[in-house]
Amino acid sequence: GAFALDCSDLKGKKLLNLDSELEGVFTVSCAGGMRSDCLLPAELTDAAGTEGFGITVAGLQGGHSGADIHLGRGSANRLMGRVLATALEKFPGLRLAAISGGQFDNVICSRCDAVAALPAGSGA
DSSP assignments along 8-53, one per residue: TT---S---B---SSTT--B-S------------------TTEEEE
Q: Right CATH number for 2-119 from 3.30.70, 3.30.310, 3.90.660, 3.40.50?
A: 3.30.70
Q: pLDDT per residue over 16-58, tens digit each?
A: 666 666 776 666 655 556 677 888 888 888 889 999 999 999 9
**Is the distance from CB of 34 to CB of 86 less than 8 angstroms?**
no
pLDDT tens, 60-108? 999 887 778 888 889 999 999 999 999 999 999 999 999 999 888 888 9
CA dist 10 → 5, 6, 13, 31, 42 (Å):
10, 8, 9, 20, 53
Q: Are the C-beta atoms of residues 62 and 52 closer than 8 Å to each other? A: no
- Ordered by start, the domain boundaries in the chain are 2-119
